[in-house]
A and B are shown apart, each in its own frame.
Chain A
């Protein structure tokens, strides 16, 4: 029911977006409308039918040896209506595969924005949840050097937005740029773990981040807190109810001088022990390092990532690693062709539909596609 309601809202917003598109960026007494879009047409397959690969637990199906076009393909539309005096409304609608193999429309964000001056931005509505460096633009492939960010980090937390508010503060002193961001609100998603579906709702969630940019360097720290009411049946007629305080503390560093690009992120997921059960529901640390070089329009990039799962109700202690190589080719203005090959251990439950923690087998994941903006 809840999903149905969300779809209803998304359809209405999309209809409004399309009618704005028809009247294409008209200026009416100082009110301006800007329309932009992005998308990816791509596909993925693996070399092993015993495992099914997906991006995160938000997708219930995924790719195996058969080429899967649905997993990577998506198209997004964004409209921003500027009312003047610092007020604007932004809506972003995204069609992509959600849940099982079905493409559906969703509202990524929809917020009223007020900019009192050039430092502050205040937003109310559905806003982006920026847990990791590329979280708030995760669907915009064109803006990213790789075809897909490393799953070991990006699959660990897959909520993408919050219904609430957001405050951003930004300043530039000489050539140093400083940004602070705080978001809060509620969110819910349907998840699949090992084929079992569940709706997970987070209440009073927040994200705070600070980033400093100096010339080619970027440094960012962030903390995301999710309050997830849990109910675990531990025996006949005995259920443990508790609030799972899911915390992600993350650090990101990026160097990009126009030719060389080097970046890395490290994130620690921690929770308090669940009552009675004496263990956290999940605990892990995850990281990646990536480095690439731009040879004119062609950018090869190598990535190495890992996730260390700690003793918890979801995991037994284990570490999984992934090697990946991606190639970006800026073929014409606004279109980038990409290919990516990952060699991953198929143990992590966040991005393997059916993981096998015991075997630790390595599976190759092959992806090709085109990212575009318009």
Chain B
């Protein structure tokens, strides 16, 4: 591989990386429309999603882009750290990991049905059955 081709490859990767970071979704945290909760702080949300608080039942999508954005912005942790934290909780029997669903639409459905549930979704999936308690910056 000559130097020029290497440079082209690096440029190509940089464009891809910049492109991927620009394609960030708008993520919002939602609870059921029936819930009495109206707003929540990132601290309260991260306590629930890191297993420190059992006050609500967390639900999430198994798809990666929304998930890594949520954990890095709300809890300041990457996915591997979150997995390590949950491994400690699960294998000491202290908590059960958040329920994983396939799509934002399924999260909306699960959250709408349970006033104690909390979820994070792509903003475009919000409907009248849920209310936004926090918008992830």
Contacts and interface: CB of A to CB of B under 8 A. Distances in A.
Interface of A: 34, 36, 38, 76, 78, 80, 82, 90, 92, 109, 111, 113, 118, 123, 128, 136-137, 140, 142-144, 168, 170, 172, 175, 177, 213, 215, 257-258, 294, 296-297, 330, 333-334, 336, 373
B81 interface: yes
Given A118-B55, A172-B47, A258-B76, A78 B83 contact: no
A142 B88 CA distance: 8
B81 A258 contact: yes
A143 B47 contact: no
Contacts of A170: 54
Contact of B91 (A78, A82, A177, A297): A78
A52 to B, nearest CB: 29
Given A123-B93, A140-B88, A177-B52, 18 more contacts: A38-B91, A90-B93, A111-B93, A128-B92, A137-B91, A140-B87, A142-B87, A170-B54, A172-B47, A213-B52, A258-B77, A333-B79, A333-B80, A333-B83, A334-B83, A336-B84, A373-B83, A373-B87
Nearest to A140: B91
A78 B80 CA distance: 20
A168 B84 CA distance: 22
A294 B81 contact: yes
Which of B75, B85, B93: most chain A Cβ within 10 A?
B93
B87 A177 contact: no
Contacts of B55: 118, 172
Contact of B80 (A36, A76, A177, A336): A336
B47 A137 contact: no
Contacts of A215: 43
Contacts of A143: 84-85, 87-88, 91
Query: 5 smallest A-B Cβ distances: which pairs?
Result: A330-B80, A143-B88, A143-B87, A258-B76, A118-B54
A283 to B, nearest CB: 30
A297 B68 CA distance: 13
B4 to A, nearest CB: 29
A109 B96 CA distance: 17
Contacts of A111: 93
Contacts, number: 72
Which range contains the number of B residues in contact with the other chain? 20 to 34
Contacts of A213: 52
Interface in B50-67: 52-55
Contacts of A294: 78, 81
A92 B91 contact: yes
Nearest to B43: A175
Contacts of B85: 143
A257 B76 contact: yes
B40 interface: no
Contacts of A123: 93
Given A113-B93, A294-B81, A38 B47 contact: no
Contact of A38 (B87, B94, B96): B87
B90 interface: yes
Contacts of B47: 172, 175, 177
Nearest to B41: A175
A215 B43 CA distance: 8
5 contacts: A78-B91, A111-B93, A140-B87, A143-B88, A168-B94
Given A175-B43, A333-B83, A373-B83, A76 B91 contact: yes
Nearest to B47: A172
A34 B91 contact: no
B53 A177 contact: yes
Interface in B69-118: 75-81, 83-85, 87-88, 90-94, 96
Contacts of B88: 137, 140, 143
